[in-house]
Each structure stands twice: as C-alpha cells, then as structure tokens.
Amino acid sequence: MTDAPHRRGADRTEAIMRTTLELGREIGYANLSIEAVAARAGAGKHTIYRRWSSKGALLLDSLLSLNGPGLDYPDTGDVVADLRAQIYAAVDLLAGASFGPLFQALIGEAQHDSRIAAALNERFIAPQADKTVARLKAARDQGQLSPGFDLDLAMAILSGPLYFQLLITQEPLTHEYVDRILDALFTGMGPRPRP
C-alpha cells in the first residue's frame, strides 16, 4: 500500500508507452504527436515531456518496452541451425505490422537525432550483435568454424543485407532470404577454381 504513488506512476508510464504504440500503428509515426498520445492516454502533455524530450525518445522506450521479442540464441550444438532459428524470429519481428513500421521510423529518426541513434545502438543493436558474436564464438571455440573466422564481420553480413532490405530497397523480408544469406556465409561464394 505504501508504494501506491509509485505504482500509479509506473502504470501511467506504461499506459503512455502502450498508447504511443497503438496510435503509432494506427496513424503512422509521421502523423503521431505527443499531444495526441497525451489526449488518448489521459495524461498531461507536460507529464510526457518531463520524461521524454522528443517523440523519438518516447517511441524508443515504447518499442523497447515490448522487450519480450525473445531474440536469444538457442544452443543446440548446430551453429547454422541456431542462427537460422534466431534470424527467422528477428525477421518475423521486423516484418511484422506491430513492430516493423515503427522500428523503421525509429531508425529514420536516428538519422536526424544522434541521441536517438546512440540510445538505439546501446539498448537494442549492440546487445543483439553481442549475442550473435557470442553464439559464433562458441562455435569457433568448438572447432565448428575456422580459427580465423571474423566474428564481427559475420555478424554484419548476417544483419547488413536484412537492414538494407528493410531500410533501402524496402522489399519484404522472408525466411528464404535468410537461408540464402546463411548459405553464402557458410558455404562461401568463392571464385571458381581455374581448370
């Protein structure tokens, strides 16, 4: 009972973030305003601005509050199968209507606001990259990958084409595309040996 004011504060914060996602999905990030979020969440505009300095900062926290995306790597002993399972899940998240378009808008915002870029990296991108590198490193330590295998670059080759598709060509992300990237990374695309 003594923590009731804190509970109310936490409930209000959660309601504001939930409303941000709901309204953002309905009308798109470009049309979203802090005023509209405040009105629908039944909160004061100043309450929102006290905690979040911009619409982008509010979106960042709201998306990360979903948290549960469950993008951890399994470790079945088969590194390719484990990467495939995790990247399928990531692609389903990015391609899904409830996360993808708002996440894409957040990355757009990061191009204009270096604080958003830094926070996005620190709180979402880098932890995900660390997990990928850790799973690859375990495989390398077990002799499943060559000792010279470039872990950071492998992470970039697994992620880069997906983000290129999401942000630049804006074609749909599919499991089939993930399979092609994994095949290229692990079976290689080397020059044909001369006869």
Binding footprint of a second copy on the chain (CB under 8 A): 29-30, 79-80, 104-105, 107-114, 117, 120-121, 125-126, 143-147, 149-150, 153-154, 156-157, 159-165, 167-170, 180-181, 184-192, 194
Task: Name residues whose C-beta falls within 8 Å of residue 105's C-beta, 6 or more positions apart in sequence.
Answer: 24, 28, 29, 30, 59
Closest separation in Å from C-beta 176 to a second copy: 11
Whole-number Cα distances in Å, 39 to 8, 36, 177? 18, 5, 42
**Which residue is listed with tokens 């204009």?**
112
68 versus 188: smaller Cβ distance to a second copy: 188
Cα–Cα dist 32/22, whole Å: 10
**Is the distance from CB of 119 to CB of 60 less than 8 angstroms?**
yes
Min separation Cβ 19 and a second copy, Å: 20
Q: Which is nearer to a second copy, 11 or 164 (CB)?
A: 164
Minimum gap (Å) between residue 113 Cβ and a second copy: 7
The minimum distance between CB 123 and a second copy, in angstroms, equals 13
Q: How far is CA 63 from the centre of its chain?
A: 9
Q: Report, in Å, the least distance between residue 194 CB and a second copy.
A: 8
CA angle 21, 22, 23 (to 5 degrees): 95
Q: CB nearer to a second copy: give 43 or 156.
A: 156
Output 21 or 120, the one with its CB closest to a second copy.
120
